[in-house]
Structure 1
């Protein structure tokens, strides 16, 4: 049981010393209210049938706002009853108006499937309670629901379009499969009363900016058919739920964040793996320590989810856990993986196993971070900090349901941010979650969706698009007109291309199509193992790669990018592969630039340039050029194989800074410049060879012998520590006892630890600021980056917003330049 495990961890010699923080939140009683007076009788009886006699305070507040016709966003904790909160007003409207329709949007297909089962369960009870005595409902009342996404069979789609009153979908399908074909949905859009947007916190960044434009198009279509839907959004805890919701739908939104749900005792532990080499600052693998802690959870019968940062980490953890089962009552089939690339039926099977208890532990990426119903888990373990406080809290929230106690464990990785949090846990516990930001007016994103909107309905002169006035969008439409994509006639702009614009615009990535992973059965039939998104295929399933799926290894024989198929063969090898990528950034167009003046009184009395800064279009080119073969458990490099893969190109905008020698001198004087190469002296090759020979040409950390590449020689006390007043004491720095042989992988980890332990200044971003600052870890004081570089230089006269709004006569040249 969980309580006995927590007591064990507090006194276990292998665990307790490595617990850097342990926060306990006491149980929280439920804040409940009776059913609202205007809750329809059938809904009251349906809730009573499910043994629900009271509603949480936030559910009642949501009901009140929804019945008043207000848009709202629910920003309460995981398993707090948000689904019921938005279902009640929708179902009430369905009871009162037999023609009413509702659209539910979820970020993933899995969530739509999960919520369909919830709604279907509620409706199965509700249908039995509808009688002729409850006006205006008759015995002919029906409420058909349906999922309309990429997996919906073609034969079922016409019936869903005609008959479904609640349609569950995702923004991608709305974008490509519903809005462009709105004529087939005329009855649905004419009676659309509600749009529910679940997991709204996922709609941020580029994806969220696309989705905001899809919502603009949805509202435009609804208005064409004479409806004005009400929006209900649900979100995990983020720093700005109201602002995000209003940015997505461009209407006022009421915020409901008074979580009144019942909650049991919650424990949050930050665990830092033990030090294995104090001199080098190395700690035990966070993966291996996570396996050990998860085995403790298994042996104490605590159902748990283990979150890993990458798909490969999921498979490595899964292999380790299944091979180290210490409890004879647990089989490997009760420990499962869960990530993108698994087939839909595999995911449904694992989700059901978590609900019914047949799956004891699931190792997942953040695919399980979203609100799929997986029952009441006792523990959530994070292998490494997921990157944001909001995401960490969301993952931790997967543990615990109702008044049951639960524990969340963050196992710190060697990553500098993880180590900072381990040593400064108050940063994590006391900070507010990050804000979710969108920019629907990004030039290229907006232009793409104006194309889609024009395909769906002609633009009338004077028409607005979302919050954008005609004066803004007219320039975009005139550009499309000059580019022969549009035709102007009778005061309207018409789409003129044969192309179907939405089909070529992915909301999430530059490569919307997936690659199918196929193997062959014993009788020669092709068998689909899983899928990989097109963007990841070149580094995950290139020819020669070892692909892992549910702890099974597959050797990739061929990657056929033209037909989007990777051909696999199941194997059992003692190595895995790691793709080697090269990236290049090219400045394609300079939109603005300015000189940086030399600081007064420093190297030239303020005359001349200290560097320059610029803003413009850039192109990022990434290419997989080879892959390494690494032995399991030791990470020994078995060789590097070259590859010739097509490059991936990203067009975006960016800022850049160039520094003069005078600026670099100021940085060196301030002790914040460490990019100069070390000069170990003329005798270094001989010293290096002697150290490697002394250490028998083996890594002194992992024991890996040299193969095709010579090992590195590392200074235990950093070489720069022997520099005093610009003079290097090489004799002391290069003493044999200060040198050690390390393989490339271990050397990288050791150098990272050197940087973590260094007490020099660090560059960081302060919350609420949009400019880079230098952050002094010792004093906690920020300083302007340009001051650190340039002393007391003058402020630049060039001011360029990060997200420039279109306007004036610069729009067309910017569109043309960016489109190229």
Structure 2
């Protein structure tokens, strides 16, 4: 046979060892190309360029997409990998830029390498365009604007933007939106926004991007632009809904590919031994036939391990194999991509980082170690091989995971299932809050503007204003507001601002929290050694760092083993040392959940399933050490880490009390049964939702106080939720049936990773009882349907939606204090020596006696006695300054008093200090009568009467400011722009 693919398959099916492990072999026939012509002819210039490029006619889907885009319709092209999607946007963009030389386009790619590929393709096509007077003597141009662009070229691009800017979400968020005035020329001419690989914008990143796109559209509207969006996606179940969630726009779908495709062999391999070893065996056979191969792994660790083992056993091919994953530095990734595209590398071992359309040349074989978690991802990864209608092989090597084994037993289900839907929560409150503050920093929010017309966005802005995270400017005109007008000068202007100057820097688009960088401190002391330099070897989301980068954890990077020394949350740094160890680590811990809000309830056979908001507390208590060879448990090391608390969305199944009673009567381990139910359900949930089990969490409890009985919880494993369990709730019946089927059909007797064991169980899969799980699920399946009436659940008034509404009780007796000093900071050696400043006078308002009292430096015993009578001592910077002065003169511990420091409260809300004179003028229309420097001058002149009068007025102003805030729930201040701003308080 001349066909190396056919020879490879024949050898595999004829070999004794590997042939036994082939659970299924299917040949997917190829298809002929289907072509079409756009409804309107190209200009002469475009027609000439296409002809020179060798394009005489378009595929049918390309022509359909071009027609929509040229007509100004937002469009999503969801077709398989290598179907020519780049022409779907390059052609209408080039055509439009030829007709309007001032027009601009923004191309967004989730990876920098994609932008590099697309710039090359764009320039090849644009370079073929003739240059005539109609085009102003120039062709459309393009440039990459990303983190690798030098400051010089960034400035050049901003000042003289090309026709097309190719960038990524981070640069739009960090550069274009916060500095939009510098991008005015580009934004005002923005005609097209191209969003490539849009299916990657799901989960946490999807929630971020939903707000980034809305902020971009808001600024486009401000500059008078209405761009047409062109989305490109892998084949997913809901491309239109996904784009609508991301942007709020109505989008036209193009779903049927007209591109030719070659014959493909699909192999399902259920290995008798290690999946990694089976993958290496498949790879070595491919290398011997010079087949270019990509191997996908489910984790960074496995990627590194397989690359290491494969290189050890591949002899002459050792230098032609490389690992590739997210977390590598940019220059490392570029080097690998270039070597793969040139043919120098024959095989690359990758995580999902190479799932997208980076051009690494034609590939013959795709090996997936473990089911990727979705039909879509499997097709996307498999689509990397067999381009240009060549034959190819896609091999799925099953792991012990429940979903992998399900498809090994039911391969027909894999081929019959449609692609999953991509889910996100566009209004994730944790994420949306940060972006609303960014939006207010970019441009003052105004009630009634398009951005705030989406009900969840407008409502959230109201909540942020009420909580003091955003601030409403006071004015003379009234905007449409939902809050009552209360207090003097409180009429709202409808303008909403933020106190943050640069909030964008604290928002990580790819995580629910901040990122941590992993530093190599090998050979350095704890301070970093000479110069304190610590090379960065990778990054990790802070939420994951507690599980994967805790002290003692083993971290793999490019074949090197590191052991984590320290995790510094202050600097967001993880410090690691290279070390050769024969073990890997797995975290252990405990979890708890609290129901915050029930959003839905439905019957599910003989029980009820609910959906709602949850508060999850996770505590990593230690970690296991397991041998690399064989996975034997070597020991458990305890850890003392702070708990992780976050709010998210989840569903939960009630377990009827009668089922528990019958289970225990059968002498089955009920807790082990519902624990196994939880694991199996999480393992099978990716059948219904496009997710990975690592994006989900679960808790099973024999008695949940709010449910008043046993329950199994499954939740989105990120703050705010990602819409995953929201979709699963609607398919709860199928989830329960598939979970039962998986447990029933697994040939193991007591439970295994193919059915009820979880690789990330914090309790080491204890207790687990497979028979009890089967009994519980069968009892629910055959039980009588229950009423769907919502059970009363006690829910706490806590969390970000409620905290601002908690009102402190008014004190029965309070005092207000202020002091004036004898000496200035300069005279005593600086502000840090306030204990030397002395007291000229201290004035106290006693609300119980409705009287003012004055104290000199010799009367401090009486002052202390007076202060001790109060339920609350109020002042303006009195805790930090006044008490520091008094502490140098009297042994009493003033800070032990019940204190309310108005300056500290304001500083906490705003993030910066505001003077008493500022807030008093804005709130009470009353200013200070003098200042501290004048009081010091009076002390030198012996004018204690003037100092006392001045101090008494400050006390009165502080008291009245406090009373205004307590009565009305807000005060006012004047910001640097001269605006009078409402500041909510809960005094």
Bin for the TM-score computed over the shorter chain = 0.7 to 0.9
For residues 198-239 of structure 1, what are the alpha-carbon distances to aligned partners after superposition, in whole Å with 9 as ceiling and x for unaligned? Answer: 111112233223312221221111111111000100000111
Match of 2:276 among 284, 287, 291: 287
For residues 477-498 of structure 1, what are the alpha-carbon distances to aligned partners after superposition, in whole Å with 9 as ceiling and x for unaligned? Answer: 3333333321233443221413
* Contact residue 454 and residue 493 of structure 1 kept, 8 A: no
Q: Where do 1:496-575 residues align within 5 Å?
A: 496-519=498-521, 526=533, 528=535, 530-535=537-542, 536-571=544-579, 573-575=580-582
CA, structure 1 residues 403+597, in 2 after alignment: closer, same or farther (shift >3 Å)?
A: closer
Does 2:471 align with 1:482? no
Match of 2:136 among 128, 135, 138: 138
CA, structure 1 residues 625+410, in 2 after alignment: closer, same or farther (shift >3 Å)?
A: same
- Counterpart-to-counterpart distance in 2, 1:620 and 1:677: 21
Match of 2:628 among 624, 627, 632: 632
The aligned counterpart of 1:771 is: 732
For residues 156-205 of structure 1, what are the alpha-carbon distances to aligned partners after superposition, in whole Å with 9 as ceiling and x for unaligned? Answer: 32222222331222223323332122111111111000000111111223
The aligned counterpart of 2:888 is: none
Normalising by structure 1, report the TM-score: 0.77
* Contact residue 595 and residue 613 of structure 2 kept, 8 A: yes
The aligned counterpart of 1:693 is: none
Match of 2:171 among 150, 170, 173: 173
Q: Where do 1:212-361 residues align within 5 Å?
A: 212-274=210-272, 284-326=273-315, 328=316, 330=317, 332-361=318-347
For residues 489-518 of structure 1, what are the alpha-carbon distances to aligned partners after superposition, in whole Å with 9 as ceiling and x for unaligned? Answer: 344322141353433333331333331433
- Counterpart-to-counterpart distance in 1, 2:575 and 2:661: 55
The aligned counterpart of 2:496 is: 494
The aligned counterpart of 1:280 is: none
SS in 2 for 1:223: helix
The aligned counterpart of 2:201 is: 203
Identify the range of structure 1 (62-71 vs 476-485) with the bigger mean alpha-carbon deviation.
476-485
SS in 2 for 1:386: coil
Q: Where do 1:328-407 residues align within 5 Å?
A: 328=316, 330=317, 332-407=318-393
* Contact residue 774 and residue 783 of structure 1 kept, 8 A: no
The aligned counterpart of 2:638 is: 642
* Contact residue 21 and residue 271 of structure 1 kept, 8 A: yes
For residues 378-397 of structure 1, what are the alpha-carbon distances to aligned partners after superposition, in whole Å with 9 as ceiling and x for unaligned? Answer: 01110011111111111111
Does 2:17 align with 1:18? no
CA, structure 1 residues 458+533, in 2 after alignment: closer, same or farther (shift >3 Å)?
A: same
Residue 365 of structure 1: CA displacement?
0.5
Residue 774 of structure 1: CA displacement?
3.0
CA, structure 1 residues 483+230, in 2 after alignment: closer, same or farther (shift >3 Å)?
A: same
The answer for unaligned runs of 5 or more in structure 2 is 478-492, 674-711, 715-724, 746-773, 793-798, 807-908, 910-985
CA, structure 1 residues 586+317, in 2 after alignment: closer, same or farther (shift >3 Å)?
A: same
Q: Where do 1:671-820 residues align within 5 Å?
A: 675=670, 769-772=730-733, 774-775=736-737, 777=741, 788=780, 791-792=783-784, 794-798=786-790, 813=802
CA, structure 1 residues 529+399, in 2 after alignment: closer, same or farther (shift >3 Å)?
A: farther
* Contact residue 338 and residue 364 of structure 1 kept, 8 A: yes
Does 2:157 align with 1:157? no
Match of 1:103 among 90, 106, 112: 106
SS in 1 for 2:357: coil
SS in 2 for 1:28: coil
For residues 639-658 of structure 1, what are the alpha-carbon distances to aligned partners after superposition, in whole Å with 9 as ceiling and x for unaligned? Answer: 33333344433222444455
Residue 421 of structure 1: CA displacement?
0.4
* Contact residue 610 and residue 729 of structure 2 kept, 8 A: no
Q: Specify which structure has the bigger relative contact order, considering alpha-carbon pairs within 8 angstroms and separated by 6 or more residues.
A: 1
- Counterpart-to-counterpart distance in 1, 2:112 and 2:791: 43
- Counterpart-to-counterpart distance in 2, 1:574 and 1:461: 60
SS in 1 for 2:220: helix
- Counterpart-to-counterpart distance in 2, 1:264 and 1:672: 57
- Counterpart-to-counterpart distance in 1, 2:411 and 2:420: 16
CA, structure 1 residues 351+623, in 2 after alignment: closer, same or farther (shift >3 Å)?
A: farther
For residues 344-378 of structure 1, what are the alpha-carbon distances to aligned partners after superposition, in whole Å with 9 as ceiling and x for unaligned? Answer: 11111111112111111111111111111121100
Does 2:410 align with 1:424? yes
Does 2:59 align with 1:56? yes
Residue 295 of structure 1: CA displacement?
0.9
* Contact residue 650 and residue 713 of structure 2 kept, 8 A: no
Residue 321 of structure 1: CA displacement?
0.2
* Contact residue 651 and residue 729 of structure 2 kept, 8 A: no
The aligned counterpart of 1:651 is: 647
CA, structure 1 residues 814+71, in 2 after alignment: closer, same or farther (shift >3 Å)?
A: farther
SS in 2 for 1:195: strand
CA, structure 1 residues 87+466, in 2 after alignment: closer, same or farther (shift >3 Å)?
A: farther
Rg larger for: 2
Residue 770 of structure 1: CA displacement?
3.6
Residue 767 of structure 1: CA displacement?
8.1
* Contact residue 518 and residue 565 of structure 1 kept, 8 A: no
* Contact residue 601 and residue 611 of structure 2 kept, 8 A: no
CA, structure 1 residues 143+648, in 2 after alignment: closer, same or farther (shift >3 Å)?
A: farther
Residue 443 of structure 1: CA displacement?
4.2
CA, structure 1 residues 99+581, in 2 after alignment: closer, same or farther (shift >3 Å)?
A: farther
- Counterpart-to-counterpart distance in 1, 2:140 and 2:494: 39
The aligned counterpart of 1:605 is: none
The aligned counterpart of 1:39 is: 42
- Counterpart-to-counterpart distance in 2, 1:480 and 1:235: 35
For residues 671-730 of structure 1, what are the alpha-carbon distances to aligned partners after superposition, in whole Å with 9 as ceiling and x for unaligned? Answer: 99753579xxxxxxxxxxxxxxxxxxxxxxxxxxxxxxxxxxxxxxxxxxxxxxxxxxxx
Figure out how many residues of one structure are paired with residues of the other and give that number. 693
* Contact residue 543 and residue 556 of structure 1 kept, 8 A: yes
The answer for unaligned runs of 5 or more in structure 1 is 275-283, 600-609, 679-761, 801-809
* Contact residue 70 and residue 230 of structure 1 kept, 8 A: yes
CA, structure 1 residues 652+566, in 2 after alignment: closer, same or farther (shift >3 Å)?
A: closer
Residue 145 of structure 1: CA displacement?
2.5
The aligned counterpart of 2:443 is: 457
Identify the range of structure 1 (71-80 vs 587-596) with the bigger mean alpha-carbon deviation.
587-596
Residue 591 of structure 1: CA displacement?
5.6
Residue 617 of structure 1: CA displacement?
4.5
For residues 270-293 of structure 1, what are the alpha-carbon distances to aligned partners after superposition, in whole Å with 9 as ceiling and x for unaligned? Answer: 11113xxxxxxxxx1111111111
- Counterpart-to-counterpart distance in 2, 1:582 and 1:176: 36
- Counterpart-to-counterpart distance in 1, 2:779 and 2:628: 48
* Contact residue 193 and residue 228 of structure 1 kept, 8 A: yes
CA, structure 1 residues 790+257, in 2 after alignment: closer, same or farther (shift >3 Å)?
A: closer
CA, structure 1 residues 242+534, in 2 after alignment: closer, same or farther (shift >3 Å)?
A: closer
Residue 537 of structure 1: CA displacement?
3.5
* Contact residue 95 and residue 137 of structure 1 kept, 8 A: yes
- Counterpart-to-counterpart distance in 1, 2:22 and 2:610: 46
- Counterpart-to-counterpart distance in 1, 2:662 and 2:237: 38
- Counterpart-to-counterpart distance in 2, 1:815 and 1:242: 37
- Counterpart-to-counterpart distance in 1, 2:358 and 2:658: 56
